[in-house]
């Protein structure tokens, strides 16, 4: 008796442990799924945000094939009016409309790819002078403190200023003042290597969880179907006997279909009886009328 009570208590403890572990598993799956869903959303949004501000400028800078040279400012003009500002050398903000602008043009000397240009370069290394538009970067815009247009104009807007610059071999009129390939590669690497794998891992987990964690369990359904089929097969003739035994006259009488048929038959008999009574009544009236007529005569 004591052993039976102990075994029952052990079974209760084991069942409680199973329920606790199941609950912990459900909570862990829920919060893990929520984390990966938020990670997928944030990584997609961050990648869409980084495309116009980091990825596109970095890719454009690398594709332009900039070459280092020396530039000399030949003009620096400040203009007012939207129609006068077809382009601007510097803009604090890449999405705002331009109503006033600084247009700085420089003169530079193209060099061969093998030539390393310094401030004391010989004129034999130079091919010919070209004129280009000066920008702080390939897009000509940015945000403080990285791009400060007032400092940019003070440093490069004075006519006759000489400074190192970079011109594009694809667009000779595009000249920039700052170029750091290591920084560009790092920004391009971080902006693509972090959000894209995070998004792919999140999508992989969500699909995995959908098919393995949150899907219905077909094994239980199949087991129940097998169990029901086995029960039916094992019952055999006993089930058929039970079915025949269950359809006793009392159950047939209680059937709504049988009640309806009985009511229809009863109603039909009543109608026939009423018709017969009417015929008898008419015959009696007819005989009484005839007797009355004979008596009067």
DSSP string, 2-53: HHHHHHHHHHHHHHHHHHHHHHHHHHHHHHHHHHHHHHHHHHHHHHHHHIII
Residues 255 and 177 in one domain: no
Residues 260 and 174 in one domain: no
**How many domains does the chain contain in total?**
2
Residues 174 and 98 in one domain: yes
Position 224 confidence tier, pLDDT thresholds 50, 70, 90: very low
Q: What is the pLDDT of residues 131-187, one digit of tens each?
A: 999 999 999 888 888 889 999 999 999 999 999 999 999 999 999 999 999 999 999
Which DSSP helix (H) or strand (E) runs through 281?
A: helix 256-296
Q: Give residue 284's domain range.
A: 249-296
101: in domain: yes
Q: Measure the CA–CA gap between 60 and 172, rounded to whole angstroms.
A: 15
Structure tokens at 140: 């000509």
Domain boundary among 153, 182, 211: 182
138: in domain: yes
42: in domain: no
Q: Which of 131, 156, 135, 143 is nearest to 87 (CA)?
A: 135
21: in domain: no
Strand residue runs (E) in the chain: 66-80, 91-92, 100-108, 130-135, 141-142, 162-168, 174-176
235: in domain: no
262: in domain: yes
Q: What is the pLDDT of residues 245-295, one digit of tens each?
A: 444 444 444 555 556 656 666 666 677 777 777 778 777 776 777 666 655
pLDDT at 98 over 60: yes
Residues 157 and 258 in one domain: no
230: in domain: no
């Amino acid at each position: 008796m004591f052993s039976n009570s102990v075994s029952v208590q052990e079974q209760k403890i084991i069942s409680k442990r199973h329920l606790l572990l199941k609950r912990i598993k459900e909570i862990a799956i829920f919060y893990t799924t929520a984390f990966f869903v938020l990670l997928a959303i944030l990584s997609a949004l961050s990648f869409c945000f980084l495309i116009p501000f980091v990825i596109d400028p970095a890719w454009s800078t690398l594709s332009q094939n900039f070459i280092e040279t020396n530039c000399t400012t030949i003009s620096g003009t400040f203009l007012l009016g939207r129609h006068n500002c077809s382009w601007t050398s510097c803009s604090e903000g890449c999405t705002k409309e331009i109503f006033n602008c600084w247009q700085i043009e420089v003169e530079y000397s193209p060099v061969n790819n093998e030539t390393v240009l310094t401030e004391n370069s010989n004129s034999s290394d130079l091919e010919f002078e070209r004129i280009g538009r000066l920008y702080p970067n390939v897009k000509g815009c940015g945000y403080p403190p990285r791009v400060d247009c007032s400092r940019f104009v003070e440093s490069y807007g004075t006519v006759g200023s000489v400074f190192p610059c970079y011109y594009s071999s694809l667009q000779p009129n595009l000249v920039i003042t700052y170029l750091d390939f290591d920084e560009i590669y790092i920004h391009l690497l971080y902006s693509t290597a972090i959000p894209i794998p995070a998004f792919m891992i999140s999508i992989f987990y969500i699909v995995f969880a959908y098919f393995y964690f949150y899907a219905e369990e077909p094994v239980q359904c199949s087991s129940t179907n097998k169990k029901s089929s086995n029960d039916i097969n094992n019952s055999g003739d006993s089930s058929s006997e039970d079915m025949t035994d269950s359809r006793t006259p009392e159950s047939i009488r209680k059937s709504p279909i049988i009640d309806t048929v009985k009511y229809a038959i009863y109603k039909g008999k009543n109608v026939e009886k009423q018709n017969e009574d009417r015929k008898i009544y008419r015959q009696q009236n007819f005989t009484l009328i005839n007797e009355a007529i004979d008596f009067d005569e």
